[in-house]
């Protein structure tokens, strides 16, 4: 699969402009190996400063998820977006080769 950015919640002003002040987000990915699905997820929230006089301002009722994802990524910056996506990938890698195992060393399997 591919890394997927999602918006899980928007906090907005209740005035007539309904400007978004906070966006909660989640980044997920998964990889299937055989019959096992390995997943990774990172989430967070970013503070936004709405400005109704900006040319690109979008009122709450007209926002698309892609708009909010763009705001989050812009707020984070390209380097931090890469860090987040790398954390998701690292979780998947760790899931495929877990750091712990269990068993009984005196029991021979096979």
Report pLDDT digits (tens) over 25-41: 999 999 999 999 999 99
Q: Is residue 107 assigned to a domain?
A: no
Radius of gyration of the chain (CA): 20
- Give the pTM: 0.84
- pLDDT for residue 1: 66
Domain that holds residue 31: 4-96
Tell me what pLDDT residue 97 has: 87
CA dist., res. 107 & res. 110, Å (int): 10
The number of domains in the chain is 1
Q: Look at residue 38 and tell me if it is in a domain.
A: yes
Are the C-beta atoms of 80 and 72 separated by less than 8 Å? no
Q: Which residues contact 54 (CB under 8 A, 6 or more apart)?
A: none
- Could you tell me which residues are beta bridge partners of residue 64? none
Q: What is the pLDDT of residues 41-81, one digit of tens each?
A: 999 999 999 988 998 899 898 999 999 999 999 999 999 99
**Inside any domain, residue 92:** yes
């Amino acid at each position: 699969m591919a890394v997927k950015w999602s918006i899980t919640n928007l906090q907005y002003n209740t005035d007539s402009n309904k400007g978004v002040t906070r966006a909660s987000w989640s980044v997920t990915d998964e990889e299937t190996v055989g019959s096992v699905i390995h997943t990774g997820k990172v989430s967070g929230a970013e503070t936004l400063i709405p400005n109704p006089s900006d040319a690109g301002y979008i009122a709450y009722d007209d926002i698309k998820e892609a708009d909010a994802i763009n705001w989050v990524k812009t707020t984070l910056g390209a380097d931090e977006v890469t860090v987040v996506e790398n954390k998701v990938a690292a979780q998947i890698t760790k899931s495929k080769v877990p750091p712990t195992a269990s068993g009984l060393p005196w029991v021979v399997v096979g």
